[in-house]
Structure 1
Amino acid sequence: MKPALTIALAILLGGATYISAQTAKNDHSQTMDHGTHMNDDSSAISLLTEPGQGAFAALSEIIMVLEADPETDWSQVNLGALRDHLVDMDRLVTHTTVKELELTNGVRVLASGDADTIATLRRMVPAHAAELAKDGRWNVEVNESPEGLELTVTSADSAVIARIRGLGFFGLMASQDHHKEHHMMMVRGENAHRN
């Protein structure tokens, strides 16, 4: 065998062995000891900002805030309510079917889906519409229909009309940065939908 070929094979086999060892080391199996794993490289872990799935991350973040606050009344904490709301948020984004109709002064959105999605829409859209309505640059109206909900957002300002159309249904539902405060109120057992 030629020396160059021998060296190339040695490098390939060595690399494959290294990759295999790293894959086995990083396998998140049922036998993994989280306590031991967490001590492997705490400096790298502290750089991470997202502990995986979004709802899990939101719950984890809220728990850290609650634990850091000596005024937390644990008898009022309701993480289950937040979890249910996070499921609704996910369902709204991933399961809602929308038909957006351009109006001369904004947009009308017909939002629908299966029975669970319609229930989610009826819980979430009116509450988010109330937040949107706090912005005096546009008018917001929500009406229930047998197929789901109808959301109409309009304005007299051409720049705001362009913004409304650009945001569309999902952007409108995600805008107005009230979500974190809303989630904290929910977890603390407060009325998150009061005006």
Structure 2
Amino acid sequence: MRRRPRAPRGVVFSAIALSILAAPLPGLAEGMAHDGHGAGMKHVEGMQHGGHGEGMHHGAHAGGMHGDGAHAGGMAGGGMDHGGHGEGDDWRPEGALPFEVGQGAFAAIAEIVALLQADPDTDWRRVDIPALAAHLRDMDALMTELLPRAEPIPGGARFTIHRDEPGGAAAWRMIPAHMPMVEAELGVSAGIAMEEGVLTLSVTGPEGAEAMIRGLGLQGLMATGAHHQPHHLAIASGRDPHAQGHAH
């Protein structure tokens, strides 16, 4: 009787391994992904709606992300939507809010309006916010456009302004009216001459004030003190700003 040739040992082991791999694993066919991405895929617990990765939920794009609309690993996206403005159109910020409502003139007018609205005695027939806006434009021109010629004089400084130069008309309206308040607050003396389109302002002070006057310059002198706030309220309220010593 002839014996069959025996297969090499390595071939036997390979056949056994293949038979094991080909055998169906328990539960392999159960729980396959609903989207039908391929036979043999198991619907792993924690994968939902597309099964793109273990532990992902609702369209998250990287493993370990949670919440609708998260776009980077580890970010918790609860409360965010695709537009970044919150659900619906009624978006409200949470936490601290900024104090300023806009640039300087806008914020100043908003503050005055809030004061007028809070005062039950406000006479709205006399309120004149456009007049306040015009005054604030003068203040802006004086601070950002005017370039006065300054020269030192004994005890202080002299400033020369031409009416037709940038900011000149605003300076002509503001300096004569505001200087009395500056004199009272700083203890200085101001002499003003207005001739042929040229305004000359000479400011001097007691001993020791010379350096301060020169250092402040025209803009610093005009910004000194707290008389501007009541002045603005008087203009907006329709009252005479000179009635109680306010400058105009």
The answer to whether the 8 A contact 1:95-1:113 is kept is no
- The aligned residue for residue 97 of structure 1 is 147
Aligned to 2:236: 187
Larger Rg: 2
After the TM superposition, which residues 1-195 of structure 1 pair with which residues of structure 2 at under 5 Å, given as runs?
A: 14=72, 25=84, 36-37=90-91, 40-41=92-93, 43-45=95-97, 48-112=98-162, 114=164, 117-135=167-185, 137-158=187-208, 160-194=209-243, 195=245
Q: 1:42 to 1:192 in 2, by over 3 A?
A: farther
Q: Provide the TM-score with structure 2 as the length reference.
A: 0.59
Higher relative contact order (CA 8 A, sep 6+): 1
What secondary structure sits across from 2:239 in the alignment? coil
What is the distance in 2 between the residues matched to 1:143 and 1:42? 56
Instruction: Give yes or no for contact 2:146–2:165 (8 Å, CA) kept in 1.
Output: no
Partners of 1:141 and 1:25 lie apart in 2 by: 60
Q: Distance in 2 between matches of 1:183 and 1:141?
A: 25
Q: Report the RMSD for the aligned CA atoms in angstroms.
A: 2.8
Query: Structure 1 residues 56-65 or 131-140, which shifts more?
Result: 131-140
Q: Could you tell me how far apart the structure 2 residues matched to 1:60 and 1:44 are?
A: 20
**TM-score w.r.t. length of structure 1:** 0.74
Structure whose residues are more often helix by fraction: 1
Rounded Cα–Cα distance in structure 2 between residues aligned with 1:106 and 1:65: 39
CA distance in 2, matches of 1:67, 1:141: 40
Aligned residues: 166
Structure 1 unaligned spans of 5+: 1-6, 8-12, 16-20, 27-32
Indicate how the Cα distance of structure 1 residues 97 and 154 shifts in structure 2: closer, same or farther if over 3 A, else same: same
Unaligned runs of 5+ in 2: 1-61, 63-70, 74-79
Q: What amino acid sits opposite 2:236 in the alignment? A: V
Preserved CA contact (<8 Å) 2:163 2:199:
no
Deviation at 1:42, TM superposition (A): 5.5
Distance (Å, rounded) in 2 between the aligned partners of 1:192 and 1:186: 6
